[in-house]
Structures are given as structure tokens and as C-alpha cells.
Amino acid sequence: MTRRLWIETVGCQMNVLDSELVVAALRRQGWELAAAPDAADAVFYNTCSVRQHAEDKIYSALGRIRGVKAKRPDVVVGVLGCMAQKDQDLVRRRAPWVDLVVGPGQLHQVPALVEEVIAGGGPRIEVSLDRRGNPRDAIARSFESYDPDRDPAMRPTPFQAFVRTQTGCDKFCAFCVVPHVRGPEQARPPATIVAEARKLVAEGCREITLIGQTVNSYRWADGGRTTRLADLLVLLDGIDGLDRIKFVTNYPRDMTDDLIAAVRDLPKVCHYLHVPAQHGSDAVLARMRRGYTIGEYLEMLGRVREAIPAAAVTSDFIVGYCGETDAEFQATLDLVKTAGFKNSFIFKYSPRPGTKAFDRLPDDVPEEAKKERNRLLLEAQEEASLAGNRRFVGTRQQVLVEGLSSRDEKREVDPGPDGLAQLAGRTMCDRIVVFDAPLRLVGRLVDVEILAAGAWSLAGVVADGLAAAVPLEALRLTGEESPEVHAIAPPPVRPTGV
């Protein structure tokens, strides 16, 4: 009998990839995806710990699943990923109906663990060693990279895929829980990454996004040779059939000249760099232990702009960090008004147990002030994004067509393969473009004439189909692509966002 799985994913691209891999492994064992949690034999939550809000969402989802578990005690309830690593047995103390608690370093065990629970061997908690008080080698071994064979059906779209370059993080920014829950930074060998990319391309993939917590810190040393991210990009750029390469997230200090030159010179590498500044004030950056000053960040930005004037640079910001004064916040606001970021992800500071900021700095900015600063910064970014996007009106851009726009997806439009729908795709510099075109263009590269700009998207017409151009008023532009949602959200492991 086929067993059915329901999985909900919150958080970053790393989690989206992890869910894809867990689902693929279970499908190989005969599992299928369920249409709803109450029709599932196993319900998994792939979790995020980066902010309290993401954890609260999971605990309330666990509250909701309790009723299902009461009616059908055989349903396997699993908490996977970062919150499992962070909270460990606390998960079961708060929700004793959970059968499986599995950290990011143990995901390869999920298929076997589910069988054990079904056979009556649960509950099970499998997590990695704590980064405090254990030898580094042993800790690293306990965080195993999980990159088994892929299942094309499980990807965000059949023609786009994430590929992991490294697991973990060693930056230890004072606010951030990631190094604690995802363990030490460990690179995957370049040959493995390239082989995975080739396989994905053979399966029809056209765009690959390399992912690592600080992807541009990538370093692999082998027999006296060191491979850095720039070298890896050269190898990937040579893969026939691959059209586009992106990589996220970058750490400002590791944005070296060789990497910038690789982005400039390699035809398949997108001119899109996510390099979070986090804050505009040196004093706050020091309290965050980010390891650079704003002057150094701007110097890096200058090198990027000089080499690739049209590159889209994006950032993350934290507002209301410990001790943030009005003047310090103003420095962030000024940075957003002047730096020309394509967009920014803005977060209110959320204290995370286990981090240096949690242990040593009071969370002393009132919630109301955090909210107001969040609003002001978003407003400034929206203005900057609109100004940036307006420069594209009247240009022709190559777009990789991803699917229905969020408007037509919401309306559940189904025009058939040849009927017009509002489609969405992205330019080489990661700008969202919407245009009316037949669905059969999905997965293809098309040239689009840009006719109008909103803050979060551009609108246009397919260049070689100008005769079929739709009137401009038919294209809706207002910020329906929320800047807080990361680009690619796959059915059926759609991340619910944090």
C-alpha cells in the first residue's frame, strides 16, 4: 500500500533543498505526496530557527496536528531541521505527540527512522553534537552533508535547481543561530558539485543556484591546489546546456576581485549579488561582530559597480538590534537611500538563545520602535527599488520564464498551452518581469521589451511577438511580489515563509 507524506517547509533555500532531498529519498521507498495533512501517513515540518516567529509558526502547526494524531495515532509526526537541532528534547516536551526530531545533519537517516517509528520503535531524537564543548572534528562529522540523488519532480521548477556548495557556517555573527544549528563550515568537493550540476542539466535543468551560508567563502584544498568560488564558477560555466548560474549568500569580506571578475566575464553567471550589509553603522556592525566597517562594505560595493555597472546588489538588514539608537538606525536608512540595492530583506531583531548577543547584550529596543524602523526602511527601499527598476523601461531583457505570475497563480488561471496568461520570469540581474504569453514559453529564455516598472517587478511584452502585444493597462504592477519572499517556491514543498 502506498504511504503518503505531507511536508511543510519554512525558512531559507537550504531548507527548500533539504525538503526536496528528503521527499526524493522517501519517494524512492514508495512514498507519495499527500494532498492534505489529514490525508497523510507522515507529517513533517522542516523548520527554521533564525527568528522566533519562524519557531512560533511551527509550534502552532504542531498544535493543529495534535487533533489528527489523536484520531489517527499511526500518523508519524516529524520535526526536521534547524529547530530540531536547537530545541532537541524541548520539542517533545512542548509537543509530546511528535515522533521524530531530526537535525539538519541527520536528514539522511529519515527514511530508516520513519520505518522504525512505524514498526513501533519511536519516538526518536537524532541531532548533531553541540558546537560548545566537543572537538571540532567530531562536531564536523556529526553534521553530515545531505546530498543524495535528486528527484527532478521535486524541484521548484523542472528547469531550476539549488546545488549546495557547503554546509554550516563559521562566521559566528553575534545575532545568528545558524553556526549553532547547521554546524561547522564544510565544503563539498568541486568534482561532486560539478557532477551534480551536469546530472541536473541532463535532466532538463537550465538554471542552477549555488547555495551556502556564506557561499563566497567556499574553499576546497586538494593536493596543493585550492578551488575558490571563482574557480568553481569557471567549471560550471563550461557545462553545455546550462544557461544560468546564480549563487547566494555572500559575505562582504569574501567578495574578492577574482570572484567579481568571474561574475563579469563568465557568460552564464548572473549579474546578481546578494551581499547582506546587515547595518549602516560601524558601532552596530561591531556589536554584531560582522567583521567589517561600513567603509569597507562601500569599498567592496564600489569594486562591484566599477567592474559590473549594471549588477543587481541586494542586502539583508536587521532593525532594532541591541542598543540601536535613532542615530544608528538613521545610518542604515541613509545606506539604503544611497547604495542602490535592488531589494533588501528587512528583519526585526529576534534574540536567539545560544548566540553571543543573547548572552551578552540586552534586547532593549521596544517592539514598537522595531516595527516603525522596519516600516521606514522598507519604505526607503521601495523608493530605491522603483528608481532602480525605472532605468530598465525601454530596454530589452533576456528572461527565463518561470511560470504563471503570482496574480494568475492566485486566480488559478488555466489557459491551456497556447492561450495567453500572465507569466513571470527573471532577467540576468534577477529582476522579476511579468508579461502576457502562452504557457508553452515556461522554462525558455525569451527576450522581453520592458514597458513599465514597479518597485518589485517590471512589465513588458515578448519582443519577437510584438504584434500580439497586450495593452499596458492589462498588466498589473503593484508590489504583488513581496520582497520578503525568496524567489522560488516549489509545489509541493512550498515554504510558508518566516
Q: Is 316 in the site for ligand SAH (CB under 6 A)?
A: yes
CB 480 within 8 A of CB 407: yes
Q: Is 249 in the site for ligand SAH (CB under 6 A)?
A: yes
CB neighbour list of residue 32: distance below 8 Å, 6 or more residues apart: 2, 3, 4, 5
Q: Is 349 in the site for ligand SAH (CB under 6 A)?
A: yes
Measured between alpha carbons, how far is 40 from 42 in angstroms, rounded to an integer? 5
Q: Is 54 in the site for ligand SAH (CB under 6 A)?
A: no
Q: Residue 213 CB, nearest distance to ligand SAH (Å)? A: 4
Q: Which is nearer to ligand SAH, 69 or 290 (CB)?
A: 290
Orientation of helix 294-307 relative to helix 257-265, angle to 10°: 30
Q: Is 265 in the site for ligand SAH (CB under 6 A)?
A: no
Measured between alpha carbons, how far is 75 from 325 in angstroms, rounded to an integer? 50
List for the chain the helix, strand, coil content (%; round to 5).
40, 20, 40
Measured between alpha carbons, how far is 75 from 72 in angstroms, rounded to an integer? 6
Measured between alpha carbons, how far is 284 from 173 in angstroms, rounded to an integer? 12
CB atoms closer than 10 angstroms to residue 150: 20
Return the residues of window 181-210 that contact ligand SAH according to CB under 6 A: none
Q: Is 169 in the site for ligand SAH (CB under 6 A)?
A: yes
Q: Which is nearer to ligand SAH, 285 or 462 (CB)?
A: 285
Task: Using the rule CB under 6 A, give the single segment among 105-113, 348-356, 417-425, 454-462 that binds ligand SAH.
Answer: 348-356
Determine the size of the site formed for ligand SAH (CB under 6 A): 17
Q: Residue 186 CB, nearest distance to ligand SAH (Å)? A: 14
> Which DSSP category does 132 fall into?
S
Q: Is 278 in the site for ligand SAH (CB under 6 A)?
A: yes
Q: Which is nearer to ligand SAH, 301 or 401 (CB)?
A: 301
Return the residues of window 212-241 that contact ligand SAH according to CB under 6 A: 213-214
Q: Residue 124 CB, nearest distance to ligand SAH (Å)? A: 28
Measured between alpha carbons, how far is 8 from 47 in angstroms, rounded to an integer? 8
Q: Is 102 in the site for ligand SAH (CB under 6 A)?
A: no
Q: Residue 494 CB, nearest distance to ligand SAH (Å)? A: 19
* CA 261 to chain CA centroid, nearest Å: 24
Task: Using the rule CB under 6 A, give the single segment among 68-76, 175-183, 334-342, 431-439 that binds ligand SAH.
Answer: 175-183
Q: Which is nearer to ligand SAH, 18 or 99 (CB)?
A: 18
Q: Residue 283 CB, nearest distance to ligand SAH (Å)? A: 18
Which of 227, 225, 139, 226 is closest to 185 using CA atoms? 139
Task: Using the rule CB under 6 A, give the single segment among 89-97, 153-161, 168-176, 440-448 that binds ligand SAH.
Answer: 168-176
Q: Collapse the DSSP code of 245 into the 3-class scheme (helix H, G, I; strand E, B; otherwise coil) and give the result.
A: strand
Q: Residue 316 CB, nearest distance to ligand SAH (Å)? A: 3
Task: Using the rule CB under 6 A, give the single segment among 124-132, 329-337, 349-357, 421-429 that binds ligand SAH.
Answer: 349-357
Sign of the CA dihedral with 424 first, then 260, 343, and 170 last: positive
DSSP string, 308-362: -TT-EEEEEEEES-TT--HHHHHHHHHHHHHH--S-EEEEE----TTSHHHHHS-
Task: Using the rule CB under 6 A, give the single segment among 101-109, 286-294, 347-355, 424-432 that binds ligand SAH.
Answer: 347-355
> What's the first-to-final CA gap in the chain, in angstroms?
35
Binding site for ligand SAH (CB under 6 A): 50-51, 169, 175-176, 178, 213-214, 249, 276, 278, 316, 318, 347, 349-350, 352
